[in-house]
Amino acid sequence: METTTTLGKNGPVVTRLGIGTWAWGDKLFWNYGGDYGAAQVKEAFEGAVKAGVTFFDTAEVYGLGESESLLGKFMKQIDTPVDIATKYGPLPWRFTARSVADALTASLKRLQLPQITLYQVHWPFTFFLTQETLMNALADEVQQGRIKSVGVSNYSAEEMRQAHEILAKRGVPLAVNQVNYSLLYRKIETQGILATAKELDITILAYSPLAQGLLTGKYTSEQANKPDGARKFDERFSETGLRKIAPVLDLLKQLGEKYQKTQAQVALNWLIAQENVIPIPGAKNLNQATQNAGALGWSLNPEEVAELELLSRSWL
């Protein structure tokens, strides 16, 4: 299995798996400052790089800038080049092309970088800013060299096609659509997003690829292990929710035993087996980062990929 790939057809080369950093500095959804903090996420960063994973996904809103700032500090302390993907939030008061340039300037400052690998629009709803203005502002940044490639996130098949067309007029490819995708959330397959991405050579960055921890097998209806933060209120983590996913976790365990891999590693390997998909699992500490990086470098066979597909059809 190749351990690197391009973003889009001929875009920047990155590792076939990235690490998500939403939980780095975030107290609103996650529990940063509670059972983990700066020391643990620093170890997660170093552990990922050591294990060969050098692609990190962040956003200006994660920890209100703290995730980017932490990455900026950590990168200064190592020599290995790292690929950063961050995101622009089209908030209601941002209605000019200038807002893109200003937000990017602020992100680059926190990251302490002159250039990033990928800049994504965090969600499609842009209030008064048109997709035309937005995509053109992003194309300008590619031309000026502050970003190597352009991506979107949470875009439908149609919105993705429109963004792709606007950018194409400027000779800039749409490299990425970052969407929710895992064995327990397969809507991109039924909503035409995966097929359109393949047709247009757009890479899918799979967010929440472990279904926010559910696919690691550590939350089960038998165990008292409860998730922290906002997930406490998520039905999927309730007793009924956990009972529903038990067969998927059983198969992940069984396959994991064959390859000496964890359930999380098998679940991520299934995503890697889908063409043009890069999973970006979150990691809060060294153990999680190292484990998630271990989803690379081996492959489930086609029958096993199909078996998992069959068993997870209720999440299509």
Ligand X SMILES: NC(=O)c1ccc[n+]([C@@H]2O[C@H](COP(=O)([O-])OP(=O)(O)OC[C@H]3O[C@@H](n4cnc5c(N)ncnc54)[C@H](OP(=O)(O)O)[C@@H]3O)[C@@H](O)[C@H]2O)c1
Question: Contact positions toward ligand X, by CB under 6 A?
Answer: 20-23, 57, 122, 153-154, 178, 207-213, 216, 218, 227-228, 264, 280-284, 288, 291-292
Beta carbon nearer to ligand X, 133 or 265: 265
Beta strands in 181-240 (DSSP E): 203-207
- Listed in sequence order, the residues at least 6 apart from 158 whose beta carbon sits closer than 8 Å to its beta carbon are none
**Under 8 Å between Cβ of 255 and 266:** yes
Rounded CA-CA distance 7/12 in Å is: 6
Beta carbon nearer to ligand X, 1 or 230: 230
CB of 214 to ligand X, least distance (A): 8
Catalytic residue (one of 62, 181, 207, 219):
62
Beta carbon nearer to ligand X, 73 or 143: 73
185 catalytic? Reply is: no
Contacts of 35-40 with CB under 8 Å at 24 or more apart are 35/228, 36/284, 36/285, 38/70, 40/284, 40/285, 40/286
The distance from CA 302 to its chain's CA centroid, rounded to whole angstroms, is 24
CB of 200 to ligand X, least distance (A): 19
Beta carbon nearer to ligand X, 99 or 120: 120
User: Which residue is nearest to ligand X, using beta carbons?
Assistant: 20
CB of 58 to ligand X, least distance (A): 6
The distance from CA 113 to its chain's CA centroid, rounded to whole angstroms, is 20
Q: What share of the chain is helix, strand, coil (3-state, %, to 5)?
A: 45, 15, 40
CB of 217 to ligand X, least distance (A): 8
> Which residues form the catalytic set?
62
